[in-house]
Structures are given as C-alpha cells and as structure tokens.
Structure 1
C-alpha cells in the first residue's frame, strides 16, 4: 500500500488529507508556523475547505494585530496644528498599531462635499442693509439662545430664524433741527427688553400692522434705549428766521458787534398734544480775540452735546416745546459776536 501523502502546510495550521488509495497512517507532527502562503490542495472539496480555514486564520491575524504587536506603536503623523483642530476628522482607533492614540481620518468624499457646502453658505451675499456682527460686536461676545428648536432647510440659501420675542412700551419723540432742514422727524424710543445687547443691523417698523419704515438699528447695550426713526411728520411744520445787525463796540469803536436774532415757529395739525425737541447751535471759536455770547433765550435753552449719537458737537442748544392739538409755539434766542473792526468772518459776517 502506498504511504500517506504529506500534509499541506499553512500558517499556524496543519491539514492532513488521506491518499486516494484509502490507506491510513499516523498523522505527522504539526509543523511550526511559517510566513509562507498556503499551497492549494488538490480536489474540489479539499480546496474549498482549505480556503475557508485559511480565510478564518487571516481574519484572526488581522484582529490580533501583527506578530510584533508588542513593539512600540507608530509615532503620530507630523501635521500642522490646523489639521488637529478639525475635530470632525479625529478618530480614536480600538485596534491596530494606533489603538488608544488619536489619529486623523483622511477626508472622504462626503466630508469634502460638506466642506464645499459650508464654504458656499459662508460666501453667500448678505441681505440688504445687513451688518456682519464680527465687525460691530465690539470687544465682547454674547451667546443668543433661542426659545425653541427651528428647522432650517439645507438648500444653500439664507433663512431667517426667530430667536426670541418681547414686548416693551414705545415712547414717541418729535425732533427738529431747522438750521439743517425745515422738517420735523418722529422716532420711537424703546428700552431694550432683552437681557442681551442688540446688534447693529436692519429693522422694520410696523404701525397698526402696516409697515411704516425701514431703518438701521445701531448697537444697543443691555438696558439701553433703542431709537428707531419713523420718517418725517408732515402734520407739524417748522420755520426758522434770522435777523442780523452790525454795530460798533468798544471805547474807540475799534470792535465790531454782530448780533443775531433767531426765531423758530412751530405749528401742529395733530389731534393730540406732543412735545417737540428743537435743536440749534451758536458759533464757537478758540480765537481769544473773538467773543461769542448768548444774550437771551425764550424759553430757556439747555446745553446740548449730541453725545448719545456718538457725534458730539459744541455750542448746541435744545428746547422742549409743548404743542397743543392744532396749536402753535415759537422759540427765540439772540447771540452776539464781537471781534476787531479790522477783521472779518470768513464767508461774511452775516452767517445766518
């Protein structure tokens, strides 16, 4: 009888197949594991069984890691700091040479598409009159928490999301600067009802459910006052008239006194009583040889610096004039400018 055929060798596995003669013999000792690839045995069933066993051994080898798993793991790949700040691409492998060490995942096609979509949204043009908060937020940041969840369609377009709503009383204000424009403007003054600052940007104003004006809101701090312009009040008229007189002054007539008498008339056709703030100015100078003095004011004027608008002025005057329904009122003040008779004001002495 022929001797049994020698067993085929594979990595970590001994496979003994009987000869075609039907004889049997003592199986040989299992050989030591080798790194060579297993040889394919003859016969269809034998080949299928060997392939199945070999695949199982390969899976076990991959799960357990390489034979030198006890050696030092591979060092972290050198990368820029910006790469490690991409937290979505960081992974913590559970097996392999980098097990337990933070690694960076190569960007897949889905991540590349997500980055491209993010860039497209970032580069979208801003709405009309919108202001980037990063340019107007000042020195500090603030977190605005919404009162509820919101669904934002992922269609690459801008969508408006309501964060919060609050109610606060609005106080009407009527103001005019007839030296600049013969018009009376109205605005609404609202104290900031939120426990957060309001950023600069566009604002839409509705009166009785109808859109009254579109304006730009300035930065309002927590507890500050919001001033929203409502346009010109056509039912209040204002007119400014001035009279200028020149005369000699001083002991020997070496000075020239230019006296200005200004009158501001107001008339209302409103059906309610209002208060109008009238703003005006008198000249100012740093020349010691020129004297400017406010002689009279009726009613009495109060100094006005315009600091609340962030553009301070000198020589400002303000009057708070009450106007009855369909009534009239007036403001009158006089100031005098004295300087050397040999000099002349640039542009003419009669500046009004």
Structure 2
C-alpha cells in the first residue's frame, strides 16, 4: 500500500517516507548539538508527531479504498434524504390541518349503528303491523325498519340510503324532498349547507383524490372520510327533518315518523357543540371519519290514552 507525499514527485512507501524523515531529523539534531544548543531535545516531539500523522494518513487511505467505507457513506446519504422527505410530509400535513375523528348519529365512533331485526307483534306501536318479512310497517304500509345491518339486505327490504345522515333509512321516515334540496348545488343553502360534497376512502384521499358523491357507492362502504363542511350540513339537515315533521304533527297529522338520530339528545348536543365552533380553519380542512348506519323510525305523535280511539289497544303505545 502506498501513499502520496507532497514533498516528492512520486508515490513512496510508508517505510521509505520514515527513512527519509529519520535521516533528515538526525542531520538536524547533529547540527543542533554542534551549535551547543538544547534544540535536539525539543525536536523529538515533532518527530513523533510527524510519524503519527503519516500512520493516520496511511490508515485513512486504506479505509477510503474499503467497500464498507462507500457503503456507510451511501447509507448516510439515504438516511438524510429520508429525514428530509419525512419533514416535508409533516409540514404538508400540518399546513392542511387534518384532524381526523369519527362521527355517527350519536357523535361517537362505531362500526355500524344499531342492529335491527324483525319485530314481534308485542313490539308494535298503535296501528303498526308486520309485513311478510316480519318487519314493522306504518298504517300506510311504509317500512319502519331495515331489518338488517347488511346494505344489500336493507336495500332489498326497501330502505333508502340517505347521504346526508349517512344511514340506510326506512321509507316511513325518509323525506325525499328534503334530501333532494340538501344535495342540490342550486339550493339556497348551498354551498355551505347543501350541494355536492367531496368524500375520501382515506383522510389524505379526501383532499388528494376525492370520491364523487355517488350514493350507490357510498352506501356500500362501512366508513368514509367527509369534510367538516358536510358535517355541519348533516347537523342542519337533521334539524330540518325534525322541524318539518313537528310542523306536520302540530297540523294534526298522525303517524308522523322521523329517523332515530333526529330525536337523539346526544346527537343534538353534539351538533350544538359543532355549530358553536366558529373556527374558520376547521370548516374545510378537517377530515371526519364517518361510519355508515342503519336507522329505524321513531313516531312523534304517539296519542295519549285519553285521545286513543276505542278500537286501539292503548296498552301498546
């Protein structure tokens, strides 16, 4: 193994370099002694230092020619690039302010909402009957429950997927007019509380690769990611459902039904907290993990015993 010295025109071995230094240092020491000085004694540390430097140079040259040296340099570069990439990703996410949380009709995380099974006759309300599948129906024959927590069975039983409640809903408590207005970009409530909203299979996908508002597809998914804007529109939509149904009841209409979520106190509190949060940055930049549900219908106008007609058994309300 050779090293290159700046004092020569050609590469020299370590041994020849040492011999050259020894001869020059000996000559210097002899000259110092002949002059009657103590410089010979002070010269020895410099000689040792030069020897150590030559050895270090030799070891460095040996290391630089080793494959391990190049491998370690390569891995160090890769690690630095990875750290830079991670930093950029974090900065990007912080800028977008994705704060994912889950949502269902009670404002808490669930996979699918309550399971609904065929009712017995003892569970029927006034005027309600069971259809051929054993499912509760209103006096007008409309279904009051989906009877399943599987979307294909709920659809086969006659339930409709409502993208604004994100639930499969029985016909007896589904208001098609309200839903049409809620998803119409021309609605007076658009674009903040009605219209077409983006959806995502992942939190990042909500912003980077949003899905279309296709109810045929959304109704088959166990959960999706929605925007805070949809979340607020969802709350206001439930409010409109309840107010419109109560208006019908006050006008004297009987057998007025609404989805369970519209009468849930927990859901009402949840929506009040949400609407009262006026933080502008959250409205469009927060991803909401939204779980699909299967709801049943709740009757608003249950008659009191004093108002119950003779042909209705008031023990079952």
TM > 0.5 fold call: no
TM interval, shorter chain, is under 0.3
Structure with greater strand share of residues: 1
| TM superposition score normalised by structure 2 | 0.25
| TM superposition score normalised by structure 1 | 0.23
Q: Over alpha carbons, which structure has the higher Rg?
A: 1
